A and B are shown apart, each in its own frame.
Chain A
Amino acid sequence: MNNRALVIGAGIGGMQAALDIANSGYEVILVEKEPAIGGHMAQLSETFPTLDCSQCILTPRMVEVGQHPHIELLTLSEVVAVEGEVGSFRVRILRHPRYVIEERCTACGDCVQVCPVVVPNEFDRGLAARRAIYIPSPQAVPAAYCLDPDACLGLFPLACGKCAQACGRDAIDYDMAPETIEVEVGAIIVATGYELYQDRAVTAYEYMSHPDVMDGLEFERLLSASGPTGGVVVRPSDRRVPKEVVFIQCAGSRNPEHGVPYCSKICCMYTAKHAILYKHRVPDGQVYVFYIDIRAGGKGYEEFVSRAMEKDDTVYIRGRVSKVFPADDKVMVWGVDTLTGRRVEIAADLVVVVAAIVPSVGSRRLAQTLGISVDEFGFYIASDTEMAPVESNVPGIFLAGAALGPQDIPETVAQASGAAAKVLSLFAAAEAEERARAALELEGVMDRVTDQVLASPVEVV
């Protein structure tokens, strides 16, 4: 048994699993395809149902992961091949070049000042811009810049090269090449998370085409104190404070005809959170939520939704939205209130499409690489939903978080710790076996010594 673990995905689930294993004294290799760790949780403003500042509870863990002596963190990396079995998986990891030497970079930002390329910032869901050389967020771990090779002008023919000139630490290396490394591990945890659905069922709501129609993660960035507006809620089209905000729940979810049939589970809660946070920032604003029904199963969850309804005057309308379209400087929302049986028409300033949760891009390919099962949507399948919820069908490969299905933070953390415990019990069992074998061997030696002693002639004095 190789007593080293591989964790794929460094969102809150992967980080939790890596920390649990590393804190028990075992080595962990943590692989993340993005340039920084933290996953979607790092983008959140606050968490439900406690309204904790997401960054405040996440950042210390990110730092702990980054500095842990037992965690080897590989960002911009992907698992491309796996061979072997539990106890000895041989894993090939493709490391994409960062073009910035992590150890030398002090995150001073001198390179950003001179970079002439401006592209949308992924971390802010395109609500803000970044340069070709950038750091995903101010709290990013590793705290090093990275270069976007698709946007950079100077990477191949040295057309630009301004950032390298500006860097006082000689940290920028345009010649950095992709590299494949091979490692051996005893067990693997897969925690590759989720994405938001962006297909037809939500594009029908003008989601892609209108600047004032956005998804939940974009709204999260608008609410965030570290977001592109510093936590001031303004709408993208004219930067005015929206006074009427409409949320469309189940956009794509629970829609077998045009979207996905399953419930995305976290949307009722984060919509209530958004309503509360918006009201805190815009006290004279009004939130409308179109819903099918409210699913708030969880400790303190129902109370949290009630708070959004009663204390923050959110209007919940039970019904679906049929059409969203621009009308002058408003976004018109047509829907139905099935409790009164009436058509509803709201001239909104901002519309949030609460889109379905889908597995992150590449989950199917990774499943193929690992030999684990996925369902028709690309979520990983546990070997037994009830009795082995974090075990895959391959011994030694474990699962955690939203990659298994829509999941909130507490559940993801619980599953990650569960998966880590499974890995630790594998390692501990192997060690116990080793100790037992050693003890048995020792016993054999002792027996032989005793036999020899007994066999030797006793001298009687």
Chain B
Amino acid sequence: MGIPYYPGCTLSTKAQNYDRSGRAVAATLGFELEELSEWQCCGATFPLMLDDSMALIAPTRVLYQAQQAGERLVTLCAICFNVLRRSQALLQRDPDMLERINWFTEQEYQGVRVVHFLEVLRDDVGWEALAERVTRPLTGLRVAPYYGCLLLRPYEEIGLDDPEAPTILHDLVRALGAEAVDFPFNIECCGSYLTVKEPAVSETLSQEIVASARTCGAQVIVTACPLCQFNLDYPQRETEAGRTGDEIPVLYFTQLMAIALGLPEGDWGLEDHYVSARQLFAEQAVQAASTVK
């Protein structure tokens, strides 16, 4: 089954490993992610001003493209997801705005359902069915799910999971045979775009998050957002002072899935990280094998 898919700019450039692993995993599960034939930037931030119709034009163009392709649109990037889902919700409850934008863009956008790939996994595949597809269970691996903010909030418009105590990534991690590590900073802000303008602030925030996950015993952090991934991974890069040895790899959930579902290494995309996870998975495989014996 094919689902219209919007990769967005980050997954086409800096986060190609997210895109690659996501497509591979989806295909294995029988959902072909079909990239929209034509697409543009989602707008990157949801406009918060009430009369900001200009800023809604970009996301509406994407939604219109999606409408041409089918009734729902899948995203992987949490930022695109947030902007598109909220724009779609706003246009649905504000017919005047919809009319205004349709007039300007000379399109007839009506409505499309924006979903995150995690929702497809939960609602279309199901955790039990997913667990049955696992060929290389991540037994013994302690994975800290990190949600960030855009995947969950604002709850009234996103409604993907409980914004204070989310479980969707936890459930996924468990379905893959790994242990989900709960840590108190799993919904704290990673610093987001401050990484461009105020990198010191963003690094402080992300270091607290990584430290909290480490204290709770995590070996790897998973996320659904390319900016979260970068903000948690980059501050742990090797500097002139070398490495501390406390680093924790930060992966996309799709990469974890690609490994657990037994996909070829080319689909894992583990090469594009500041903290490598290769060693960790090699050790885990050895340990899991010895446990089986």
Binding site for B on A (CB under 8 A): 200, 203-204, 323, 325-327, 332
Contacts and interface: CB of A to CB of B under 8 A. Distances in A.
A200 B185 CA distance: 18
Q: Please name the 8 residue pairs, one residue from A and one from B, whose CB atoms are nearest each other, closest first.
A: A325-B184, A204-B164, A200-B164, A326-B184, A203-B165, A204-B165, A203-B164, A200-B162
Nearest to A328: B215
Interface of B: 162, 164-165, 184-185, 188
Nearest to B162: A200
B272 to A, nearest CB: 32
Contacts of A325: 184-185
A291 B233 CA distance: 38
Given A203-B165, A327-B184, 6 more contacts: A200-B162, A200-B164, A204-B164, A204-B165, A323-B188, A325-B185
Contacts of A327: 184
A326 B162 CA distance: 20
B165 A323 contact: no
B71 to A, nearest CB: 31
Contacts of B185: 325
Contacts of A332: 184
Contacts of A200: 162, 164
A237 B185 CA distance: 22
Contacts of A323: 184, 188
A326 B184 CA distance: 7
A332 B165 CA distance: 17
B211 to A, nearest CB: 11
Contacts of A326: 184
13 contacts: A200-B162, A200-B164, A203-B164, A203-B165, A204-B164, A204-B165, A323-B184, A323-B188, A325-B184, A325-B185, A326-B184, A327-B184, A332-B184
B207 to A, nearest CB: 15
B206 to A, nearest CB: 17
Nearest to A205: B164
B152 to A, nearest CB: 13
B166 to A, nearest CB: 12
Nearest to B188: A323
Nearest to B185: A325
Contacts of B164: 200, 203-204
A378 B164 CA distance: 26
A203 B164 CA distance: 9
A327 B164 CA distance: 18
Contacts of B165: 203-204
A325 B185 CA distance: 9
Nearest to A324: B184
A359 B162 CA distance: 25
A341 B63 CA distance: 41
A72 B101 CA distance: 72
A323 B184 CA distance: 9
A458 B90 CA distance: 103
A200 B162 CA distance: 9
A347 to B, nearest CB: 13
Nearest to B183: A325
Contacts of A204: 164-165
